């Protein structure tokens, strides 16, 4: 069966994040909502042909899943780790994958017959955060993404700073410890060699090999070759001495890197992202903020916030879509092309039920940033806080997916529901405004608001 979505809705774009382990492709509408996504493993062995085939397959799969054809797309944005030549669609150097010297852009353009935008993954991640994430209101942003490696990007007034040789933003290779540990790039003591997930894992493994004890030996079942972010989180929660020490050290390095960025560029905001940081943010962020706030350089202290990514894994694909929109002359940063998602109208919300557009729900609901209505699961809150009247950060991860500018919370007619302190911190660290109001007032405020918004409405006890 074939159905063209283009005829009855917004323009469609495809964002592709080609990572060292996974290729992610998302089908995205012009207002930034993801309507379908697909992930495939990046082939470890084999040459560029295998990697290209994996990229093509991921794109074909997501199109098939959404019943859309390549001809329905306005443009495709591709993000690749490494140094790229965006104009030639060429990967100049990709240290972690078999794509060096490959003209990925022109190859895919021939294959799908659609304009292809092309860029470095972390650069595009910064662009994504500027478009729809924590930096949405900031004139300039530096994003620092801490993962297997550390990458970054600098966006000013909606434009990426590409550098003289298209290699700006390689913040992971700022040397922070002369003669320090060897980095993947060949230099010693790079930021990446001190604070990336790879560096954290290396330090833990070395310390355990020297006889230090850690809960991780148990959590990993003795196999320390893969240490997941969630395991680090659990070890921190259990006050594991070794993990606490190593993550504290990594957080300090990240803090000093933020300070360096501020002294060099003084961006309006710095956005931090990546698995370890997001999983361990309540431990790591106060350390980072403490270092940034204790800056002695006069005048450097005020303003310039350090925030967390509001888009998580989607920052790079959405940045690729932003770049694709720019390529076809429909930049999301130009007012006339700034498309807002279509939101439903909340018709009524009484005790025990809520009507959104034509549909009535006999329970709490939330409406995400793309306008989709979802039923609120109270189990999570009950498990964590003993009451469904508490909203914590875990629940906000779902409700605020896609980075709304503002969240309206209908706290019930008698105002029973409230955000716990960590939830408020979750929102402020992602620059998401929040209004908690008695349900009828929240409904009114939601219907009236013209911002990119989300809401959670409580109607049942």
Our CB check for Zn ion shows the closer of 187 and 447 to be 187
Residues forming a β-bridge with 359: 356
Q: Which stretch binds Zn ion (CB under 5 A): 155-163, 178-186, 261-269, 394-402?
A: 178-186
Among 183, 310, 381, 400, binds Zn ion (CB under 5 A): 183
Q: How far, in Å, CA of 108 to CA of 51, rounded? A: 12
The total of other beta-carbon atoms located within 10 Å of residue 231's CB is: 19
Contact letters for Zn ion, residues 188-217 (x by CB under 5 A) = --x---------------------------
First to last CA, the chain: 44
Lookup: tokens for 347: 């018709």
Q: How far is the CB of 91 from Zn ion (least distance, A)?
A: 19
175 binds Zn ion (CB under 5 A): no
Q: How far is the CB of 249 from Zn ion (least distance, A)?
A: 18
Q: How far is the CB of 146 from Zn ion (least distance, A)?
A: 14
Could you tell me if residue 429 is left (phi over 0), alpha (psi between -120 and 50 degrees) or otherwise beta? alpha
Our CB check for Zn ion shows the closer of 194 and 259 to be 194
Q: How far is the CB of 304 from Zn ion (least distance, A)?
A: 26
185 binds Zn ion (CB under 5 A): yes
Our CB check for Zn ion shows the closer of 187 and 428 to be 187
176 binds Zn ion (CB under 5 A): no
Our CB check for Zn ion shows the closer of 20 and 286 to be 20
Cβ atoms of residues 116 and 75 within 8 Å: yes
The closest alpha carbon to 136, from 332, 365, 299, belongs to 332
Residue 218 is given by DSSP the state H
Q: How far, in Å, CA of 396 to CA of 284, rounded? A: 19
Backbone angles phi and psi of 167, in degrees to 5:
-125, 25
Q: How far is the CB of 183 from Zn ion (least distance, A)?
A: 3
Instruction: For residue 224, give every residue at least 6 positions away whose Cβ sits within 8 Å of its Cβ, in sequence order, or none.
Output: 201, 204, 205, 208, 216, 217
Q: How far, in Å, CA of 175 to CA of 155, rounded? A: 22
Q: How far is the CB of 174 from Zn ion (least distance, A)?
A: 8
Contact letters for Zn ion, residues 69-108 (x by CB under 5 A) = ----------------------------------------
Q: How far is the CB of 180 from Zn ion (least distance, A)?
A: 10
173 binds Zn ion (CB under 5 A): yes
Q: Tokens 């620092």 sit at which residue?
A: 144
- Which positions touch Zn ion (CB under 5 A)? 173, 183, 185, 187, 190
């Amino acid at each position: 069966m074939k159905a063209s979505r283009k005829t009855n809705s917004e323009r469609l774009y495809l964002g592709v994040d080609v990572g060292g382990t996974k290729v992610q492709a998302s089908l995205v509408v012009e207002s930034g909502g993801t309507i379908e996504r697909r992930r495939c493993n990046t082939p470890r062995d084999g040459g560029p042909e295998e990697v290209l085939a994996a990229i093509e397959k991921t794109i074909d799969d997501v199109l098939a899943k959404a019943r859309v054809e390549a001809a329905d797309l306005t443009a495709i944005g591709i993000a690749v780790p490494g140094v790229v030549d965006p104009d030639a669609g060429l990967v100049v150097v990709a240290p972690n994958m078999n794509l060096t010297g490959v003209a990925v852009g022109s190859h895919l353009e021939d294959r799908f017959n659609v304009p292809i935008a092309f860029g470095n993954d972390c650069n595009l991640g910064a662009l994504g955060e500027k478009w729809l994430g924590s930096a949405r209101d900031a004139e300039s942003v530096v994003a620092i993404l801490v993962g297997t490696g550390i990458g970054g990007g600098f966006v000013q007034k909606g434009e990426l700073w590409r550098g003289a040789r298209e290699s700006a933003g390689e913040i992971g290779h700022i040397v922070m410890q002369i003669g320090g540990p060897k980095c993947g790039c060949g230099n010693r003591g790079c930021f990446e060699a001190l604070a990336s997930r790879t560096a954290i894992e290396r330090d833990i493994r070395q310390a355990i090999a020297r006889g230090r004890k850690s809960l991780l030996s148990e959590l990993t079942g003795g196999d320390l070759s893969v240490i997941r972010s969630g395991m680090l989180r659990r070890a921190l929660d259990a006050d594991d001495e070794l993990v606490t020490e190593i993550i504290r050290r990594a957080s300090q390095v990240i803090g000093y890197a933020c300070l360096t960025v501020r002294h060099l560029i003084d961006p309006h905001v710095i956005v931090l992202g990546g698995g370890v940081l997001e999983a361990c943010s309540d431990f790591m962020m106060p350390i980072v903020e403490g270092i940034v706030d204790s800056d002695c350089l006069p005048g450097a202290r005020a303003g310039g916030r350090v925030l967390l990514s509001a888009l998580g894994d989607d920052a790079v694909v959405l940045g690729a879509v932003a770049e694709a929109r720019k390529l076809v002359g429909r930049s999301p940063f130009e007012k006339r092309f700034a498309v807002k998602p279509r939101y439903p109208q909340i018709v009524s919300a009484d005790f025990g039920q809520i009507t959104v557009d034509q549909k009535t729900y006999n329970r709490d609901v939330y409406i995400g940033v793309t306008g989709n209505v979802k039923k609120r699961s109270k189990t999570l809150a009950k498990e964590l806080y003993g009451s469904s009247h508490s909203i914590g950060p875990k629940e906000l991860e779902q409700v605020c997916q896609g980075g709304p500018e503002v969240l309206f919370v209908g706290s019930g007619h008698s105002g029973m529901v409230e955000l716990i302190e960590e939830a408020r911190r979750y929102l402020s660290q992602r620059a998401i405004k929040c209004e908690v109001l008695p349900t009828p007032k929240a409904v009114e405020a939601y219907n009236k608001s013209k911002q990119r918004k989300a809401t959670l409405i409580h109607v049942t006890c």
